[in-house]
Amino acid sequence: MKEMQKETSKQTHYGQFGGQYIPETLASELTRVAQAYDKYKADPEFLVEFHDLLDNYANRPSLLYYADKMTQDLGGAKIYLKREDLNHTGAHKINNVIGQALIAKRMGKTCLIAETGAGQHGVATATIAALFGMECEIFMGKEDTERQKLNVYRMQLLGAKVHAVTSGSMVLKDAVNATMQEWASRIDDTFYILGSAVGPYPFPEMVHDFQSVISKESKQQILETEGKLPDAVVACVGGGSNAIGSFADYIDDKEVKLIGCEAAGKGVDTDQTAATIERGSVGIFHGMKSLFLQNDDGQIDQVYSISAGLDYPGVGPEHAQLAELKRAQYVGITDDEAVNAFEYIAKTEGIIAAIESCHALAYVMKLAPTMRKDQIIICTVSGRGDKDVASIAKYRGVDIDE
């Protein structure tokens, strides 16, 4: 696969990372997407429609909630939670889906396709397809369809067709491959809504821009309530979309620490991990150059995390660059630490947060006590945890009837 070098979009590379490593069949379509995005990203009419849907359909702006009890209990920095769990469909994913679906509509597409792991991105895509009256097909590893039956049915209720992908290890990375293949075979009427800050350009740029609403809001909110910027912003990292959205508006504010929390699974030093930045190496996969968990021959490793949303063997190219430049710091959080945080945040703040988000909260539990009381942490709660209740019960050996 050779790299296509068409400079239609500004943000094609992030240092040595990013780019567009794709089969010829998709090259001209990706150029059209990049051109369309370049045209609309600064178009006032497009932006009005995007923000109108964010506000009036997805329930933005999301709260910046002061977690008083958690702050008192941990006895250090003031903790604010950016509540993406309160968005329609229960996570940050809807921000990006609305943006990309609007581009698709303007390009005259009638069908939306998407990959999904746990089902969150598939549900968000099926939701917007229903709202826009578009056809929708979702590709999901067969393993995942069996683990996430409720989300499969949810997508079907929303009118989507769900395909169980049986290639490879039948998980998220195989679903991405299958969606790319499907797209190549029907580019005329179809748009691929990629669910994270990964893939060939212009996807990482689009996802960055659409998710950056998180940090634009949080900055305004913290300046209103505290009159100053936070000392640290913390978010979990799978492919990196909620984290890049949480970081975006602070990247130039060098005094704000940016911390991404990866899933260490059973431990960063075990082979049951998904800590891509800590353990990975440079490679090319899913259309981009980035960091991946892979063997010496460049074969992508099987990854593991209790959290299906963080169970991805790569990371978005902008995070790979932020790590290389040391502008952001990336830390591994184990299953155990995340489950402890899941229970802690439920009991202290009355919030059942997604197990993905609990990787960020677990780090806040370590970080806050090391900071002064006049310092501020903003932690993104990327999604709600209803979907995780049964698996947390199982992790604790509690038998509940589903």
How many residues of this chain bind ligand PLP (CB under 6 A)? 20
* Stretch in the footprint of ligand PLP (CB under 6 A) among 136-144, 235-243, 273-281, 288-296: 235-243
Tokens of 66: 């002061």
Q: Output phi, psi for 34, to 5 deg.
A: -65, -40
CB 344 to ligand PLP: min, Å = 17
Q: Does 241 bind ligand PLP (CB under 6 A)?
A: yes
Strands 135-141 and 111-116: parallel
Tokens of 287: 């259309």
313 membership: H or E segment, kind and range: none
Q: Is 142 a catalytic residue?
A: no
Measure Cα distances from 67 to 2, 35, 78, 261, 360 in Å.
Answer: 49, 43, 8, 20, 14
For residues 64 and 84, give the distance between their C-alpha atoms in angstroms, rounded to a whole number: 9
Measure Cα distances from 332 to 267, 280, 346, 395 in Å.
Answer: 8, 12, 22, 20
Q: Is 382 a catalytic residue?
A: yes
Q: Which residues lie across from 379 on neighbouring strands?
A: 81, 234
- Biggest distance spanned by C-alpha atoms of the chain: 57
CB 206 to ligand PLP: min, Å = 13
Q: Does 332 bind ligand PLP (CB under 6 A)?
A: no
The one catalytic residue in 215, 307, 357, 382 is 382
Q: Does 290 bind ligand PLP (CB under 6 A)?
A: no
* Stretch in the footprint of ligand PLP (CB under 6 A) among 153-161, 240-248, 323-331, 362-370: 240-248
Residue nearest to ligand PLP (CB): 383
Q: Which is nearer to ligand PLP, 4 or 97 (CB)?
A: 97
Q: Does 240 bind ligand PLP (CB under 6 A)?
A: yes
Asked whether 195 and 241 are in contact (CB, 8 A), the reply is yes
Q: Does 148 bind ligand PLP (CB under 6 A)?
A: no
The single residue among 18, 200, 204, 309 that binds ligand PLP, judged by CB under 6 A, is 309
Q: Is 84 a catalytic residue?
A: no
Tokens of 126: 């099926």
Q: Measured on CA atoms in the order 337, 342, 346, 351, is the torsion positive or negative? A: positive
The one catalytic residue in 78, 93, 289, 387 is 93
Q: Does 141 bind ligand PLP (CB under 6 A)?
A: no
Q: Which residues within the stretch 109-128 sit at the binding site for ligand PLP (CB under 6 A)?
A: 120
Interacting residues toward ligand PLP by CB under 6 A: 91, 93, 120, 196-197, 236-243, 309-310, 354, 356-357, 382-383
Catalytic site positions: 93, 115, 382
